[in-house]
Structure 1
Amino acid sequence: MVEDGPETTRRVAPAWEMLQRTRCVDMLNLAHVRSDTALYGLLTQDRRCRIRARSLLRWVRWPHATGWDGYLRSRSGTHRRKVGQMRRRLADRGRIGFEVVDCADSFAGLVDWILLHKSARMASQGLGGEEPFPAYCREFLRLAGRQIRGRSRFVVFLLSLDGAPVAALISCIDGKRVEALIVTFDDRYAAVSPGQTLFAESSIRWALERGLEFG
């Protein structure tokens, strides 16, 4: 994780070079590299790299969006009705709660919950192999939540039902944006789409009300 600034490219470049030297692979596939990042700039200058596809990603940007109400009005009536319907159906099952968790100890515990449910979800879809999130991945996220603090930090957006987690999103927050990283939900509530409620109503709203981009 490197903050934006005049030193960004200088810091990212040696990390990229080390990755190439130390990983014994014939081909490296980098998916979802944003075009406004230092890594993308380095890749476009490297003759060994090929950009296979470009795609547009949905992104809420402040101040072009006029706050939460303006963003909501910009979405289709069908989308708003569906989100409202799913939230009401979820509320029929209990009391909905939302919080942003950045306490290091609580964050570490939620990492385990998130990766457990994400792994189960991927397995049900035939994705990820036997162990999609090995031990070093879990340890990295736990340490990131504990050590990356201040202006840039890792948090979990947590949606709960009667105090128990039903959907969660690991995100990185800096001075400009909220960047969504890993999202999952409890499959027992799949019929009422808790992940959609977490994203569409809670996380995006939290970001916009604080003048942050969300993507």
Structure 2
Amino acid sequence: MDWILSWSSAFGEGAAPRIGCAWRDGQLTAALPLGVKREPLWRGGPQMRKLSMLCSDRAGFHDVLAVPGQETDAAALLEEMLAARDCDIADLTPMRAAAAFARISGTEGGSRFRTRQRQEIRAVVCRHDDGLEACLARRSRKFRSSLRAGRRALQQREHEMLTADSPGAAADRILEAALALSARTWKARLGTDIGTGKRTRLFFQELWRRMSASGTMAVHLLTIDGRPAASSLCVEAGGTSYGLVLDFDETYGKISPGRIMAWRGIEAAIERGLKTSNTLRSTPFLDRLGDEFETFHRLRVCRRYGWGDLLLTTQDLLRPVGKRARKLKQLRTRKRSAFVG
């Protein structure tokens, strides 16, 4: 899987693969592509052996492979992997709230295991299987007005919309411009951009190298007066376009380049014949694109009364303090976001 191989190249140092497979009557029914790595549960915390997905959580979603109707096999598989005692905790964060998630989150293993879960991401899903005009017509009058206003403002400036969806030197330059743009946005002040960290840059570069070859990844870049102003990175699977990253330069706030780029992702998905777009996030603006919503949860499973259980209990007690500190930091750094207001 391109996603896992890309993660391994960037973040896999020190991770021991733990690939679990469940079979019934000679047929594969469930698979958990996991790995064990020693790392702290929180920044600066004690080291522990963590069993987690073999892919970067920077993407915003994880999923379990299971044949429909056989999701219990995925839960049994996770129990068996935890029973091996070569890890302290299973961390499947963030995980799509689908059928397999429901089975795994209900895992109790008699009284051997304890599960903790909470919603972490609310994602906007935009349906456009009936075409661009019908999709736009379902949006509010305020949405359509703001989109037209942004486009009129953009027409007053020299601009160019670039798209990379196949390998090549020109496409690589578009990706590098998107990474550089991310490093100078408000996300860099939060530490969540994709252009500053060496390993994160490597992950997206490797992901692009692999997925562009199959035509399942696209990078869109908006330049204004010759300078990158907004970008989006999308991957495709199962007839859906997933918005991995959306960045914009706040100095162009009056033009609202982030809004323009978000809608450009919808247009590009329609042009490629995809039926839905999933933004993998929720903001006041992106919510206006939603025909429906889905959630992704933080899910952790550990043996009762073990080392992992003790650390998770401690973290739960400290969470209100950390939540308040993060909220204050977000208010300071995101107040100029084009998605707000």
User: Which bin holds the TM-score, normalised by the shorter protein?
Assistant: 0.7 to 0.9
Structure with the bigger percentage of helix: 1
Task: Compute the RMSD of aligned alpha carbons.
Answer: 3.3
What residue in structure 1 maps to residue 33 of structure 2? 14
Give the 5 Å matches for 1:181-196. 181-196=244-259
Give the 5 Å matches for 1:17-166. 18=35, 21-26=36-41, 30-31=93-94, 33-36=95-98, 40=101, 43-44=104-105, 47-53=113-119, 56-63=122-129, 66-122=130-186, 126-128=189-191, 133-149=196-212, 151=214, 153-161=216-224, 164-166=227-229
Unaligned runs of 5+ in 2: 5-26, 43-90, 108-112, 279-341
**Does residue 208 in structure 1 map to residue 274 in structure 2?**
no
Unaligned runs of 5+ in 1: none
Which amino acid in the other structure matches residue 124 of structure 2?
A: R
Aligned residue pairs, count: 200
Render the CA deviation track for 1:104-137: whole Å, top value 9, x for unaligned. Answer: 434443333323332322367x411899842111
Inter-partner Cα distance in structure 2 for 1:102 and 1:58: 27
Q: Which moved more, 1:99-108 or 1:153-162?
A: 99-108
Radius of gyration: which is bigger? Answer: 2
Inter-partner Cα distance in structure 1 for 2:201 and 2:169: 14
Structure with the bigger percentage of strand: 2
Inter-partner Cα distance in structure 2 for 1:186 and 1:109: 18
Partner-residue secondary structure (3-state), 2:157:
coil
Partner-residue secondary structure (3-state), 1:75:
coil
Q: Which moved more, 1:112-121 or 1:71-80?
A: 112-121
- Residues 96 and 60 of structure 1, relative CA distance in 2, 3 Å threshold: same
TM-score (norm 1): 0.75
- Residues 165 and 116 of structure 1, relative CA distance in 2, 3 Å threshold: closer
- Residues 49 and 117 of structure 1, relative CA distance in 2, 3 Å threshold: farther
Percentage of pairs with the same residue: 21
What residue in structure 1 maps to residue 312 of structure 2? none
Inter-partner Cα distance in structure 2 for 1:8 and 1:159: 43
TM-score (norm 2): 0.50
